A and B are shown apart, each in its own frame.
Chain A
Amino acid sequence: MKTRVLIIEPSKVIVAGLMSLLHDQMRFKLMTPLSSLDTLTERLITDQPDVVIINPTLCASPSQLHLPAATATVALVYQYVEPAVLRHYDATIDIRDSQPTIIETIAEAASSQHAEQRSSNNYDLTKRETMVLVKVAMGLTNKEIADQLNVSVHTVMSHRKNIMSKTGIKSVAGLTVYAMLNNLIDENTVI
Protein backbone atom coordinates (compact mmCIF):
# COMPACT_ATOMS: atom_id res chain seq x y z
CA MET A 1 0.00 0.00 0.00
CA LYS A 2 1.49 3.31 -1.05
CA THR A 3 1.91 6.16 1.39
CA ARG A 4 -0.25 9.06 0.26
CA VAL A 5 1.68 12.30 0.55
CA LEU A 6 0.18 15.79 0.47
CA ILE A 7 2.55 18.77 0.29
CA ILE A 8 1.37 22.18 1.51
CA GLU A 9 3.88 24.85 0.59
CA PRO A 10 3.49 28.34 -0.97
CA SER A 11 6.78 28.33 -2.93
CA LYS A 12 6.34 26.65 -6.31
CA VAL A 13 10.11 26.15 -6.59
CA ILE A 14 10.31 24.27 -3.30
CA VAL A 15 7.25 22.19 -4.19
CA ALA A 16 8.67 21.28 -7.59
CA GLY A 17 12.01 20.38 -6.01
CA LEU A 18 10.48 18.17 -3.33
CA MET A 19 8.12 16.52 -5.81
CA SER A 20 11.02 15.65 -8.09
CA LEU A 21 12.92 14.07 -5.17
CA LEU A 22 9.93 11.91 -4.22
CA HIS A 23 8.59 11.38 -7.70
CA ASP A 24 10.25 8.09 -8.62
CA GLN A 25 9.73 6.56 -5.17
CA MET A 26 7.31 3.68 -5.66
CA ARG A 27 6.25 3.77 -2.02
CA PHE A 28 4.83 7.29 -2.24
CA LYS A 29 1.74 8.45 -4.01
CA LEU A 30 1.97 12.22 -4.40
CA MET A 31 -1.27 14.18 -4.19
CA THR A 32 -1.66 17.46 -6.07
CA PRO A 33 0.14 19.93 -3.77
CA LEU A 34 -1.56 22.86 -2.04
CA SER A 35 -0.07 26.35 -1.81
CA SER A 36 -2.21 27.35 1.20
CA LEU A 37 -4.64 25.90 3.74
CA ASP A 38 -7.73 27.26 1.94
CA THR A 39 -9.02 24.01 0.49
CA LEU A 40 -7.30 21.64 2.92
CA THR A 41 -10.52 20.40 4.55
CA GLU A 42 -11.93 19.24 1.21
CA ARG A 43 -8.63 17.72 0.15
CA LEU A 44 -8.31 15.73 3.37
CA ILE A 45 -11.58 14.09 2.47
CA THR A 46 -10.79 13.43 -1.19
CA ASP A 47 -7.09 12.58 -0.86
CA GLN A 48 -6.93 10.93 2.58
CA PRO A 49 -3.22 11.59 2.90
CA ASP A 50 -1.11 9.41 5.21
CA VAL A 51 1.46 12.16 5.48
CA VAL A 52 1.06 15.93 5.25
CA ILE A 53 4.29 17.78 4.54
CA ILE A 54 3.73 21.39 5.50
CA ASN A 55 5.66 24.62 5.83
CA PRO A 56 5.36 25.39 9.57
CA THR A 57 5.00 29.11 8.89
CA LEU A 58 1.53 28.37 7.46
CA CYS A 59 0.15 27.36 10.84
CA ALA A 60 1.27 27.75 14.41
CA SER A 61 0.55 24.12 15.26
CA PRO A 62 -0.50 21.11 13.17
CA SER A 63 -3.39 20.56 15.58
CA GLN A 64 -5.10 23.50 13.85
CA LEU A 65 -5.25 21.47 10.65
CA HIS A 66 -7.75 19.00 12.15
CA LEU A 67 -6.05 16.04 10.54
CA PRO A 68 -7.29 12.51 11.17
CA ALA A 69 -5.31 10.89 14.01
CA ALA A 70 -3.59 8.45 11.65
CA THR A 71 -2.15 11.23 9.46
CA ALA A 72 1.51 12.05 10.12
CA THR A 73 2.76 15.65 9.96
CA VAL A 74 6.18 16.53 8.61
CA ALA A 75 7.48 20.10 8.90
CA LEU A 76 9.21 21.35 5.77
CA VAL A 77 11.93 23.74 6.82
CA TYR A 78 14.13 26.05 4.76
CA GLN A 79 14.60 28.92 7.16
CA TYR A 80 14.95 29.18 10.91
CA VAL A 81 11.93 27.81 12.74
CA GLU A 82 11.78 27.70 16.52
CA PRO A 83 12.40 24.19 17.91
CA ALA A 84 9.33 24.63 20.13
CA VAL A 85 7.19 24.87 17.00
CA LEU A 86 8.83 21.88 15.34
CA ARG A 87 8.15 19.73 18.39
CA HIS A 88 4.47 19.69 17.43
CA TYR A 89 5.30 17.81 14.23
CA ASP A 90 5.95 14.09 13.92
CA ALA A 91 9.13 14.78 11.92
CA THR A 92 11.08 17.56 10.24
CA ILE A 93 12.78 17.71 6.86
CA ASP A 94 15.18 20.47 5.87
CA ILE A 95 15.56 21.25 2.18
CA ARG A 96 19.31 20.94 2.67
CA ASP A 97 18.91 17.30 3.76
CA SER A 98 20.04 14.64 1.29
CA GLN A 99 17.47 12.85 -0.82
CA PRO A 100 17.75 9.54 1.08
CA THR A 101 17.37 11.34 4.42
CA ILE A 102 14.26 13.17 3.26
CA ILE A 103 12.69 10.00 1.87
CA GLU A 104 13.52 7.98 4.98
CA THR A 105 12.17 10.68 7.32
CA ILE A 106 8.85 10.82 5.48
CA ALA A 107 8.48 7.05 5.30
CA GLU A 108 9.33 6.64 8.97
CA ALA A 109 6.89 9.35 10.08
CA ALA A 110 4.13 7.63 8.09
CA SER A 111 4.77 4.15 9.45
CA SER A 112 5.31 5.17 13.09
CA GLN A 113 2.18 7.28 13.09
CA HIS A 114 0.24 4.39 11.61
CA ALA A 115 1.59 1.93 14.18
CA GLU A 116 0.91 4.33 17.04
CA GLN A 117 -2.62 4.86 15.86
CA ARG A 118 -3.16 1.13 15.68
CA SER A 119 -1.71 0.26 19.04
CA SER A 120 -3.51 3.07 20.82
CA ASN A 121 -6.60 1.79 19.07
CA ASN A 122 -6.30 -1.44 20.97
CA TYR A 123 -10.01 -1.41 21.66
CA ASP A 124 -9.90 -1.17 25.42
CA LEU A 125 -8.10 -4.38 26.16
CA THR A 126 -6.25 -3.97 29.43
CA LYS A 127 -2.50 -4.56 29.52
CA ARG A 128 -3.05 -7.94 31.11
CA GLU A 129 -5.68 -8.94 28.56
CA THR A 130 -3.33 -7.90 25.78
CA MET A 131 -0.59 -10.12 27.23
CA VAL A 132 -3.00 -13.03 27.42
CA LEU A 133 -4.22 -12.36 23.89
CA VAL A 134 -0.68 -12.45 22.51
CA LYS A 135 -0.05 -15.79 24.19
CA VAL A 136 -3.36 -17.17 22.95
CA ALA A 137 -2.39 -16.09 19.44
CA MET A 138 0.94 -17.86 19.89
CA GLY A 139 -0.99 -21.06 20.47
CA LEU A 140 -0.33 -21.48 24.20
CA THR A 141 -2.84 -23.36 26.35
CA ASN A 142 -4.57 -21.78 29.33
CA LYS A 143 -2.29 -23.76 31.64
CA GLU A 144 0.88 -22.56 29.88
CA ILE A 145 -0.33 -18.97 29.93
CA ALA A 146 -1.20 -19.23 33.63
CA ASP A 147 2.28 -20.58 34.40
CA GLN A 148 4.05 -17.87 32.40
CA LEU A 149 2.03 -15.04 33.94
CA ASN A 150 2.02 -16.52 37.44
CA VAL A 151 -1.76 -16.49 37.67
CA SER A 152 -4.39 -19.20 37.99
CA VAL A 153 -5.97 -20.95 35.02
CA HIS A 154 -9.24 -19.51 36.21
CA THR A 155 -7.86 -15.97 35.84
CA VAL A 156 -6.62 -16.73 32.34
CA MET A 157 -10.07 -18.01 31.41
CA SER A 158 -11.69 -14.89 32.75
CA HIS A 159 -9.27 -12.74 30.70
CA ARG A 160 -10.10 -14.80 27.63
CA LYS A 161 -13.79 -14.30 28.22
CA ASN A 162 -13.28 -10.53 28.39
CA ILE A 163 -11.12 -10.55 25.27
CA MET A 164 -13.82 -12.41 23.38
CA SER A 165 -16.60 -10.13 24.51
CA LYS A 166 -14.60 -6.97 23.77
CA THR A 167 -13.39 -8.05 20.34
CA GLY A 168 -16.43 -10.11 19.33
CA ILE A 169 -13.98 -12.77 18.09
CA LYS A 170 -14.24 -16.29 19.47
CA SER A 171 -11.72 -18.48 17.66
CA VAL A 172 -7.99 -18.59 18.34
CA ALA A 173 -7.40 -18.17 14.61
CA GLY A 174 -9.56 -15.04 14.57
CA LEU A 175 -7.79 -13.62 17.63
CA THR A 176 -4.46 -14.17 15.89
CA VAL A 177 -5.64 -12.05 12.97
CA TYR A 178 -6.84 -9.41 15.44
CA ALA A 179 -3.47 -9.37 17.22
CA MET A 180 -1.63 -9.02 13.92
CA LEU A 181 -3.88 -6.25 12.59
CA ASN A 182 -3.30 -4.35 15.81
CA ASN A 183 0.46 -4.81 15.71
CA LEU A 184 0.46 -6.79 18.95
CA ILE A 185 2.49 -9.58 17.38
CA ASP A 186 4.68 -9.96 14.33
CA GLU A 187 4.72 -12.85 11.90
CA ASN A 188 7.62 -14.55 13.71
CA THR A 189 5.49 -14.87 16.81
CA VAL A 190 2.78 -16.77 14.99
CA ILE A 191 3.27 -20.49 14.89
Chain B
Amino acid sequence: MDNAFYDRSCKMSELVTAHATLVMILRRMGIAMGFGNKSIDEVCRQYGVDTNFFLLISHIYTHDGYVPSREQILSTDMSQLVDYLRASHRYYVETRLPHIKSHLGAIASQLPERMATVFMRFFDDYMREVCEHFEHEEQNVYPHVEALQRGERDTRYSIDTFIDSHGNLEDKLADLLQIIFKYLPENLVGDDLVDVVYDILQVSHDLNKHSLIEEKILVPYVKHLELTTR
Protein backbone atom coordinates (compact mmCIF):
# COMPACT_ATOMS: atom_id res chain seq x y z
CA MET B 1 0.00 0.00 0.00
CA ASP B 2 2.90 2.30 0.77
CA ASN B 3 3.89 2.48 -2.87
CA ALA B 4 0.57 4.16 -3.66
CA PHE B 5 1.69 7.05 -1.46
CA TYR B 6 3.26 10.05 -3.05
CA ASP B 7 6.85 10.71 -2.10
CA ARG B 8 8.75 13.94 -1.85
CA SER B 9 10.11 13.83 -5.39
CA CYS B 10 6.65 13.69 -7.04
CA LYS B 11 5.35 16.85 -8.58
CA MET B 12 3.10 18.81 -6.25
CA SER B 13 0.78 19.48 -9.18
CA GLU B 14 0.30 15.74 -9.77
CA LEU B 15 -0.60 15.14 -6.14
CA VAL B 16 -3.11 17.98 -6.09
CA THR B 17 -4.56 17.03 -9.47
CA ALA B 18 -5.22 13.52 -8.18
CA HIS B 19 -6.57 14.75 -4.83
CA ALA B 20 -8.07 18.20 -5.21
CA THR B 21 -9.27 18.30 -1.59
CA LEU B 22 -5.62 18.87 -0.67
CA VAL B 23 -5.92 22.50 -1.74
CA MET B 24 -7.38 22.99 1.72
CA ILE B 25 -4.35 21.69 3.56
CA LEU B 26 -2.07 23.74 1.31
CA ARG B 27 -3.88 26.84 2.42
CA ARG B 28 -3.69 25.93 6.08
CA MET B 29 0.06 25.41 5.78
CA GLY B 30 0.46 28.72 4.00
CA ILE B 31 1.45 27.13 0.67
CA ALA B 32 0.23 29.16 -2.29
CA MET B 33 -0.88 27.61 -5.56
CA GLY B 34 0.96 28.34 -8.77
CA PHE B 35 3.73 25.83 -8.02
CA GLY B 36 4.40 24.97 -11.66
CA ASN B 37 6.31 21.72 -11.99
CA LYS B 38 8.12 21.84 -8.68
CA SER B 39 8.33 18.67 -6.60
CA ILE B 40 6.48 18.27 -3.31
CA ASP B 41 9.78 18.68 -1.49
CA GLU B 42 10.72 21.87 -3.36
CA VAL B 43 7.35 23.48 -2.70
CA CYS B 44 7.42 22.54 1.00
CA ARG B 45 10.94 23.93 1.43
CA GLN B 46 9.96 27.13 -0.34
CA TYR B 47 7.22 27.74 2.22
CA GLY B 48 9.10 26.43 5.24
CA VAL B 49 6.88 23.40 5.74
CA ASP B 50 8.43 20.11 6.82
CA THR B 51 8.00 17.77 3.86
CA ASN B 52 7.40 14.65 5.94
CA PHE B 53 4.78 16.46 7.96
CA PHE B 54 3.08 17.61 4.78
CA LEU B 55 3.06 14.06 3.39
CA LEU B 56 1.75 12.61 6.63
CA ILE B 57 -1.24 14.97 6.66
CA SER B 58 -1.75 14.49 2.89
CA HIS B 59 -1.93 10.75 3.29
CA ILE B 60 -4.76 11.07 5.82
CA TYR B 61 -6.65 12.86 3.06
CA THR B 62 -5.65 10.71 0.12
CA HIS B 63 -6.09 7.29 1.74
CA ASP B 64 -9.30 6.61 3.62
CA GLY B 65 -8.65 4.44 6.63
CA TYR B 66 -4.94 5.30 6.68
CA VAL B 67 -3.42 5.21 10.14
CA PRO B 68 0.24 6.19 10.31
CA SER B 69 2.52 3.96 12.35
CA ARG B 70 4.01 5.10 15.64
CA GLU B 71 7.48 5.08 14.04
CA GLN B 72 6.29 7.35 11.26
CA ILE B 73 4.76 9.77 13.72
CA LEU B 74 7.79 9.85 15.99
CA SER B 75 10.18 10.37 13.10
CA THR B 76 8.22 13.32 11.75
CA ASP B 77 8.77 16.95 12.72
CA MET B 78 5.48 17.86 14.43
CA SER B 79 6.34 21.48 15.25
CA GLN B 80 3.67 22.70 12.82
CA LEU B 81 0.91 20.32 13.88
CA VAL B 82 -0.84 22.57 16.39
CA ASP B 83 -0.67 25.57 14.04
CA TYR B 84 -2.20 23.41 11.35
CA LEU B 85 -5.06 22.32 13.62
CA ARG B 86 -5.69 25.91 14.69
CA ALA B 87 -5.81 27.00 11.05
CA SER B 88 -8.40 24.28 10.36
CA HIS B 89 -10.53 25.58 13.21
CA ARG B 90 -10.39 29.11 11.83
CA TYR B 91 -11.40 27.83 8.41
CA TYR B 92 -14.50 26.08 9.76
CA VAL B 93 -15.58 28.80 12.14
CA GLU B 94 -14.76 31.86 10.06
CA THR B 95 -15.38 30.63 6.54
CA ARG B 96 -17.24 27.38 5.96
CA LEU B 97 -19.93 27.38 8.64
CA PRO B 98 -20.99 31.03 8.05
CA HIS B 99 -21.13 30.20 4.34
CA ILE B 100 -23.42 27.22 4.99
CA LYS B 101 -25.49 29.38 7.30
CA SER B 102 -26.09 31.94 4.56
CA HIS B 103 -27.40 29.20 2.23
CA LEU B 104 -29.62 27.86 5.01
CA GLY B 105 -30.91 31.39 5.59
CA ALA B 106 -31.95 31.65 1.95
CA ILE B 107 -33.74 28.30 2.26
CA ALA B 108 -35.39 29.26 5.56
CA SER B 109 -36.73 32.48 4.02
CA GLN B 110 -39.07 30.29 1.97
CA LEU B 111 -40.37 28.39 5.00
CA PRO B 112 -43.23 29.48 7.24
CA GLU B 113 -41.78 31.60 10.01
CA ARG B 114 -42.08 29.12 12.88
CA MET B 115 -40.39 26.38 10.83
CA ALA B 116 -37.70 28.80 9.69
CA THR B 117 -36.95 29.70 13.30
CA VAL B 118 -36.48 26.11 14.41
CA PHE B 119 -34.50 25.25 11.27
CA MET B 120 -32.07 28.13 11.78
CA ARG B 121 -31.85 27.53 15.52
CA PHE B 122 -30.66 23.99 14.80
CA PHE B 123 -27.70 25.32 12.86
CA ASP B 124 -26.95 28.19 15.26
CA ASP B 125 -26.83 25.69 18.12
CA TYR B 126 -24.59 23.46 16.05
CA MET B 127 -22.19 26.32 15.30
CA ARG B 128 -22.07 27.17 19.00
CA GLU B 129 -21.30 23.54 19.82
CA VAL B 130 -18.49 23.49 17.25
CA CYS B 131 -17.02 26.72 18.65
CA GLU B 132 -17.09 25.34 22.19
CA HIS B 133 -15.45 22.12 21.03
CA PHE B 134 -12.66 24.09 19.32
CA GLU B 135 -12.25 26.54 22.19
CA HIS B 136 -11.81 23.67 24.60
CA GLU B 137 -9.04 22.26 22.42
CA GLU B 138 -7.36 25.61 21.92
CA GLN B 139 -7.46 26.51 25.61
CA ASN B 140 -6.60 23.13 27.11
CA VAL B 141 -5.23 20.59 24.67
CA TYR B 142 -3.03 22.67 22.37
CA PRO B 143 -1.27 24.66 25.13
CA HIS B 144 -0.55 21.31 26.80
CA VAL B 145 1.03 20.04 23.56
CA GLU B 146 3.04 23.22 23.07
CA ALA B 147 4.34 23.05 26.63
CA LEU B 148 5.47 19.49 26.06
CA GLN B 149 7.15 20.53 22.83
CA ARG B 150 9.11 23.12 24.81
CA GLY B 151 10.11 20.36 27.19
CA GLU B 152 7.76 21.38 30.01
CA ARG B 153 5.57 18.78 31.65
CA ASP B 154 2.30 20.07 33.06
CA THR B 155 0.79 17.20 35.02
CA ARG B 156 -2.56 18.94 35.49
CA TYR B 157 -3.69 17.93 32.02
CA SER B 158 -3.26 14.63 30.25
CA ILE B 159 -4.10 13.70 26.68
CA ASP B 160 -6.23 10.84 28.06
CA THR B 161 -8.77 13.46 29.13
CA PHE B 162 -8.95 14.59 25.52
CA ILE B 163 -9.50 11.06 24.19
CA ASP B 164 -12.38 10.52 26.59
CA SER B 165 -14.15 13.76 25.80
CA HIS B 166 -13.49 14.17 22.10
CA GLY B 167 -17.00 14.57 20.68
CA ASN B 168 -18.14 13.96 17.15
CA LEU B 169 -19.03 17.00 15.06
CA GLU B 170 -20.26 15.24 11.91
CA ASP B 171 -23.42 13.59 13.26
CA LYS B 172 -25.51 16.75 13.34
CA LEU B 173 -24.44 17.59 9.80
CA ALA B 174 -25.64 14.12 8.76
CA ASP B 175 -28.97 14.89 10.45
CA LEU B 176 -29.14 18.19 8.59
CA LEU B 177 -28.63 16.38 5.28
CA GLN B 178 -31.45 13.95 6.14
CA ILE B 179 -33.73 16.86 6.96
CA ILE B 180 -32.87 18.55 3.66
CA PHE B 181 -33.22 15.37 1.61
CA LYS B 182 -36.41 14.09 3.23
CA TYR B 183 -38.35 16.64 5.19
CA LEU B 184 -38.20 20.13 3.72
CA PRO B 185 -41.28 21.13 1.70
CA GLU B 186 -41.06 20.09 -1.94
CA ASN B 187 -41.84 23.52 -3.35
CA LEU B 188 -38.59 25.27 -2.41
CA VAL B 189 -36.86 27.08 -5.25
CA GLY B 190 -33.33 28.27 -5.99
CA ASP B 191 -29.85 26.81 -6.04
CA ASP B 192 -29.20 27.09 -2.32
CA LEU B 193 -30.44 23.58 -1.57
CA VAL B 194 -28.00 21.93 -3.96
CA ASP B 195 -25.18 24.28 -3.00
CA VAL B 196 -25.66 23.68 0.69
CA VAL B 197 -25.71 19.90 0.23
CA TYR B 198 -22.30 20.07 -1.47
CA ASP B 199 -20.99 22.41 1.22
CA ILE B 200 -22.20 20.17 4.04
CA LEU B 201 -20.70 17.07 2.40
CA GLN B 202 -17.39 18.85 1.93
CA VAL B 203 -17.17 20.21 5.46
CA SER B 204 -18.25 16.83 6.97
CA HIS B 205 -15.52 15.09 5.04
CA ASP B 206 -12.98 17.66 6.16
CA LEU B 207 -14.11 17.54 9.80
CA ASN B 208 -13.77 13.78 9.66
CA LYS B 209 -10.17 14.08 8.44
CA HIS B 210 -9.53 16.73 11.07
CA SER B 211 -10.60 14.40 13.90
CA LEU B 212 -8.55 11.59 12.36
CA ILE B 213 -5.49 13.86 12.46
CA GLU B 214 -6.21 14.62 16.10
CA GLU B 215 -6.94 11.05 17.12
CA LYS B 216 -4.42 9.14 14.99
CA ILE B 217 -1.54 11.62 14.91
CA LEU B 218 -1.86 14.15 17.72
CA VAL B 219 -2.84 11.65 20.43
CA PRO B 220 -0.05 9.07 19.90
CA TYR B 221 2.46 11.89 19.46
CA VAL B 222 1.43 13.58 22.71
CA LYS B 223 1.27 10.30 24.60
CA HIS B 224 4.87 9.74 23.60
CA LEU B 225 5.83 13.27 24.71
CA GLU B 226 4.08 12.78 28.05
CA LEU B 227 6.07 9.62 28.66
CA THR B 228 9.41 11.10 27.69
CA THR B 229 9.12 14.59 29.17
CA ARG B 230 9.57 15.12 32.86
Contact = CB atoms under 8 A, between A and B. Distances in A.
Interface of A: 1, 48, 50, 70, 123, 167-171, 173-174, 176-178, 180-182, 186-187, 190
A170 to B, nearest CB: 6
A44 to B, nearest CB: 12
B122 A176 contact: yes
B175 interface: yes
Contact of A177 (B119, B174, B187): B119
B2 interface: no
Given A170-B171, A174-B122, A176-B122, A123 B182 contact: yes
A170 B175 contact: yes
Contact of B172 (A50, A174, A180): A174
A134 to B, nearest CB: 13
Which of B111, B115, B118, B184 has the most CB atoms of chain A within a 10 A radius of its CB? Answer: B118
Contact of B122 (A70, A173, A186, A187): A173
Is chain B's interface secondary structure helix, strand, loop, or mixed overall?
Answer: helix
B37 interface: no
Given A173-B126, A174-B122, A181 B115 contact: yes
Please provide the 6 A-B residue pairs with the shortest distance between their CB atoms, ordered closest to farther. A174-B175, A168-B178, A180-B118, A187-B114, A169-B175, A181-B183
7 contacts: A50-B187, A169-B178, A170-B174, A171-B175, A174-B172, A177-B179, A190-B118
Contacts of B185: 181
Nearest to A186: B114
Contact of A178 (B110, B111, B117, B183): B183
A171 B121 CA distance: 14
Given A70-B186, A171-B172, A174-B176, 10 more contacts: A48-B187, A123-B182, A167-B183, A169-B178, A170-B175, A173-B126, A174-B122, A174-B172, A176-B118, A180-B114
Contacts of B176: 174
Is chain A's interface secondary structure helix, strand, loop, or mixed overall?
Answer: loop
Interface string B180-220: 00111111000000000000000000000000000000000
A190 B114 CA distance: 11
A187 B186 CA distance: 22
A177 B118 CA distance: 6
B111 A1 contact: yes
A1 B112 contact: yes
Nearest to B181: A168
Nearest to B187: A48
B164 interface: no
Contacts of A167: 178, 182-183
A161 to B, nearest CB: 16
A173 B124 CA distance: 11
Contacts of A174: 122, 172, 175-176, 178-179
A173 B122 CA distance: 6
Interface in B107-165: 110-112, 114-115, 117-119, 122, 125-126
Contacts of B171: 170-171
B174 A181 contact: no
Contacts of B178: 167-169, 174
B29 to A, nearest CB: 33
B183 A182 contact: yes
Nearest to A187: B114
B118 to A, nearest CB: 4
B118 A187 contact: yes
A178 B187 contact: no
